[in-house]
Amino acid sequence: MTFRRRLLGAGAVLAAALAGSFAASAPAFAYPDKPVTLVVPFPPGGSTDAIARALGPKLQEKLGGTFIVDNKAGATGTIGAGQVKRAAPDGTTLLVSSLGPLVIAPHLLKGVPYDATKDFDLITVAVQAPNVLVVPGSSRFKSVADVLAELKKNGSKMSFASSGNGSSDHLTAELFWLQTGTEAIHVPYKGGAPAITDLLGGSVDASFQNINAVLQHIHAGKLRALAITGASRSSLLPNVPTLTESGVKGVDVYSWQAVAAPKGLAADVKAKLYGALVAALNDPVLKTKLVEQGFEIVANTPEQFTKFQAAEYARWKTVIETRKITAD
223 and 134 in one domain? Answer: yes
288 and 214 in one domain? Answer: no
The upper half-sphere exposure of residue 28, i.e. CA atoms within 13 Å in the direction of its Cβ, equals 6
123 and 75 in one domain? Answer: yes
172 and 122 in one domain? Answer: no
Of 4-13, 211-220, 258-267, the range with the lowest mean pLDDT is 4-13
Q: Which of the four pLDDT bands, split at 50, 70 and 90, describes residue 182?
A: very high
| Distance from chain centroid for Cα 108 | 17
Identify whether the C-beta of residue 186 lies closer than 8 Å to the C-beta of residue 163: no
106 and 41 in one domain? Answer: yes
Percent of the chain residues past pLDDT 90, beyond the cut: 81
62 and 48 in one domain? Answer: yes
Q: What is the mean pLDDT of residues 264-277?
A: 97
Q: What is the mean pLDDT of residues 224-228?
A: 98
pLDDT in tens, 153-177: 987 899 999 988 888 899 999 999 9
Residue 28 lies in a domain: no
Average pLDDT, rounded, for the chain: 90
Q: Which of the four pLDDT bands, split at 50, 70 and 90, describes residue 10?
A: very low
How many distinct structural domains can be found in the chain?
2
261 and 201 in one domain? Answer: no
Residue 58 lies in a domain: yes
Residue 7 lies in a domain: no
Residue 152 lies in a domain: yes
Residue 178 lies in a domain: yes
Give the C-alpha separation, 322 to 307, whole Å. Answer: 23
Residue 13 lies in a domain: no
Range of the domain at 115: 36-128+256-322
- Whether 13 shows a pLDDT value over 90: the answer reads no
Residue 111 lies in a domain: yes
pLDDT in tens, 103-118: 999 999 999 999 999 9
Q: For residue 147, give the CATH number of its domain.
A: 3.40.190.10
Global pTM reads: 0.85
142 and 121 in one domain? Answer: no
141 and 84 in one domain? Answer: no
124 and 268 in one domain? Answer: yes
Residue 12 lies in a domain: no
Tell me which long-range contacts 265-268 makes (C-beta under 8 A, separation of at least 24): 265/89, 265/90, 265/91, 265/121, 266/27, 266/28, 266/89, 266/90, 266/91, 268/25, 268/26, 268/27, 268/31
Q: Which of the four pLDDT bands, split at 50, 70 and 90, describes residue 27?
A: very low
Q: For residue 109, give the CATH number of its domain.
A: 3.40.190.150
124 and 261 in one domain? Answer: yes
Short-list 122, 211, 106, 115, CA closest to 166: 106
| Distance from chain centroid for Cα 166 | 14
For 141: left if phi > 0, alpha if psi spans -120 to 50, otherwise beta; the answer is beta
Q: Which of the four pLDDT bands, split at 50, 70 and 90, describes residue 29?
A: low
144 and 116 in one domain? Answer: no
- Whether 191 shows a pLDDT value over 90: the answer reads no
Q: Of the candidates 228, 245, 275, which is a domain's last residue? A: 228
Question: Would strands 93-98 and 254-262 be described as parallel, antiparallel, or unpaired?
Answer: antiparallel
Give the C-alpha separation, 253 to 231, whole Å. Answer: 8
Please calculate the CA angle 49-43-323 and round it to the nearest 5 degrees. 95
